[in-house]
C-alpha cells in the first residue's frame, strides 16, 4: 500500500507567499475556490489536535485547537475579532475608544443579539463574562463599569493599547449572565452554531441557528463536526481518505499525495490542509490555525 504522504524536497515558504498578492492565484491554480459566491448547506468535518478528556466550554481552562475552533466562530462570539485580512473589527462590540493613557476603555455593544437559550445579550453579560478574568495576569482588568444596557467601561491595572485586540482571544467569549455555569458546561453562546453533541476529548457537532445577526455574511454550513485525532499522521491519513474536509497538520506534511488537497499557511511551523470541495475566502487569516480558528463561519461547500 502506498503511503498517503510523501516527502517534499523543496519546501515552500507559504507564509511569505500568502502575505503577497499571489494568494488568490495559488488558490485558483490548486482548485480551491477563492472568489465563488458563498453557498449555504452541507456539513464541514475537521480532524483536529489538542482535545482533552476534561474539556469544557469554560474559557478559563487550557484549550487546544479542537476547543478553540468549537468556541470562536462556532458556539460563542467575542467582543472583537481578527478579520481574514488581518484587521481588527468588532463582533459583539460595534465600537470602542480608549483613554489617552490606554488604561480605560469604553465599548459600545451590538443590539438585537440573543444567546442560544433565548436570553438577550447586553452589557451585564459582558460584565459577568469579563469579571471571570479580573486581576489575572492575562487580562489585568481592575474593574468593569456598567454605563448602560449596551455600553461598558473597562479599567485596567496598567496601560494596554492592544486591549481591544486581546479581547478577540477565545478566552474572552461572552456568556449569558443568568446562566453562566450552565453555559460553561453545556455551551450556550451567541455564535452561529448551537451545540448538538459534545463528547469531551472526542467529538463536537454544531448545528446552524435559524436566525443570526451574521446572516448573509457568515455561517454557511448546516452543520460542523470536529473530531479529536491526536496523531498528526492519522489526521493526515483521514484527510487523504476524505474522511474529513480539513485538518490541522505541521510542517512535516508539506505535500499530500492527492491533487484534491491543498496545504495552507499556518502559524510558525503549523499548517492546515483542506479538500478543494471546500471554498475559502480570497483572504485567509494567518494569526491562528484554520483561518484564525474561524473556518466554521468563513468557509463554505463549493
pLDDT at 22: 36
Q: Is the pLDDT of residue 175 over 90?
A: yes
pLDDT at residue 165, rounded to an integer:
95
Please give the pLDDT value at position 25: 36
pLDDT at residue 269 above 80? no
For residue 250, pLDDT beyond 90: no
Q: How confident is the model at residue 266 (pLDDT cuts 50, 70, 90)?
A: low
Instruction: Please give the average per-residue pLDDT across 224-240, as a whole number.
Output: 94
Provide the CATH number for the domain around residue 143.
3.90.76.10
**Over residues 120-143, mean pLDDT:** 91
Least confident window among 12-16, 81-85, 147-151, 296-300: 12-16
Number of structural domains in the chain: 2
Q: Which domain-ending residue is among 186, 216, 235?
A: 186
What integer best gives the mean pLDDT of the chain? 86
Q: Please tell me the predicted confidence (pLDDT) of residue 73.
A: 86
Rounded mean pLDDT of 171-189? Answer: 96
Query: Are 198 and 287 members of one domain?
Result: yes
Same structural domain, 167 and 107: yes
Distance of alpha carbon 70 from alpha carbon 189, whole angstroms: 11
Same domain for 173 and 247, yes or no, is: no
d(CA 196, CA 194): 6
Is residue 8 domain-resident?
no
Would you state the pLDDT for residue 4? 39
The answer to whether position 60 is within a domain reads yes
Considering the domain boundaries, does residue 4 fall inside one? no
In the predicted structure, residue 141 carries a pLDDT above the cut 70 = yes
Are 152 and 233 part of one and the same domain?
Answer: no
CATH number, position 271? 3.40.190.10
Domain boundary among 153, 186, 219: 186
How much is the CA Rg of the chain, to the nearest whole Å? 19
Distance, CA of 176 to CA of 27 (rounded, Å): 40
Q: Are residues 212 and 111 in the same domain?
A: no
Per-residue pLDDT at 6 exceeds 60 = no
| 162 found inside a domain | yes
> Is residue 229 located within the same domain as residue 285?
yes
Residue 5 domain-assigned (yes or no): no
The DSSP letter of residue 120 is: B
Among the ranges given (130-144, 181-195, 266-280), the one the predictor scored with the smallest mean pLDDT: 266-280
Tell me which residue range forms the domain holding 125.
80-186
What is the distance between the alpha carbons of residues 72 and 94, in angstroms, rounded to a whole number? 18
3-class DSSP state of 235: helix
Report residue 36's pLDDT band, with 50, 70 and 90 as the boundaries. low
The CA distance from 270 to 278, in Å, is 20
Task: List for the chain the helix, strand, coil content (%; round to 5).
Answer: 20, 30, 50
Do 139 and 99 sit in the same domain of this protein? yes
Burial group, residue 56, by CB count within 10 angstroms (0-12, 13-18, 19+): middle
| pLDDT at residue 1 is higher than 80 | no
- Give the model's confidence band at 143: pLDDT under 50 very low, under 70 low, under 90 confident, else very high: very high
Min mean pLDDT across 11-25, 102-116, 180-194, 234-248 is at: 11-25
Q: Are residues 135 and 94 in the same domain?
A: yes
Q: Note the pLDDT tens digit of each residue in 270-298.
A: 578 899 999 998 888 877 788 889 999 99
Are 87 and 143 members of one domain?
yes
Query: For residue 172, what are the contacts with CB-CB under 8 A and spacing of at least 6?
Result: 59, 78, 79, 129, 130, 133, 139, 166
* pLDDT surpasses 90 at 194: yes
Residue finishing a domain among 155, 186, 217: 186
Decide if 7 is inside a domain: no
Amino acid at each position: 500500500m502506498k503511503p498517503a504522504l510523501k516527502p517534499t524536497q523543496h519546501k515552500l515558504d507559504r507564509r511569505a507567499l500568502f502575505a503577497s498578492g499571489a494568494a488568490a492565484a495559488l488558490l485558483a491554480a490548486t482548485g480551491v475556490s477563492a472568489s465563488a459566491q458563498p453557498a449555504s448547506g452541507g456539513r464541514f468535518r475537521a480532524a483536529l489536535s489538542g482535545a482533552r478528556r476534561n474539556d469544557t466550554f469554560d474559557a478559563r481552562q487550557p484549550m487546544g485547537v479542537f476547543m478553540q475552533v468549537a468556541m470562536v466562530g462556532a458556539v460563542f462570539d467575542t467582543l472583537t475579532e481578527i478579520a481574514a485580512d488581518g484587521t481588527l473589527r468588532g463582533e459583539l462590540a460595534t465600537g470602542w475608544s480608549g483613554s489617552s493613557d490606554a488604561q480605560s476603555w469604553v465599548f459600545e455593544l451590538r443590539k438585537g443579539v440573543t444567546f442560544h437559550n433565548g436570553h438577550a445579550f447586553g452589557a451585564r453579560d459582558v460584565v459577568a463574562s469579563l469579571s471571570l478574568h479580573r486581576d489575572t495576569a492575562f487580562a489585568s482588568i481592575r474593574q468593569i463599569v456598567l454605563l448602560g444596557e449596551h455600553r461598558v467601561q473597562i479599567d485596567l491595572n496598567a496601560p494596554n493599547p492592544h486591549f481591544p485586540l486581546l479581547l478577540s482571544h477565545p478566552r474572552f467569549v461572552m456568556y449569558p449572565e443568568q446562566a453562566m455555569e450552565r453555559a460553561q458546561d453545556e455551551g450556550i453562546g451567541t455564535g452561529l452554531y448551537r451545540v448538538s453533541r459534545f463528547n469531551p476529548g472526542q467529538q463536537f457537532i454544531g448545528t446552524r441557528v435559524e436566525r443570526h445577526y451574521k446572516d448573509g455574511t457568515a455561517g454557511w454550513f448546516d452543520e460542523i463536526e470536529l473530531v479529536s485525532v491526536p496523531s498528526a499522521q492519522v489526521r493526515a491519513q483521514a484527510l487523504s481518505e476524505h474522511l474529513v474536509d480539513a485538518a490541522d497538520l505541521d510542517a512535516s506534511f508539506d505535500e499530500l499525495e492527492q491533487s484534491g488537497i491543498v496545504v495552507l499557511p499556518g502559524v510558525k511551523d503549523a499548517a492546515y490542509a483542506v479538500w478543494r470541495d471546500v471554498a475559502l475566502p480570497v483572504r485567509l487569516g494567518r494569526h491562528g490555525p484554520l483561518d484564525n480558528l474561524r473556518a466554521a463561519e468563513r468557509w463554505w461547500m463549493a
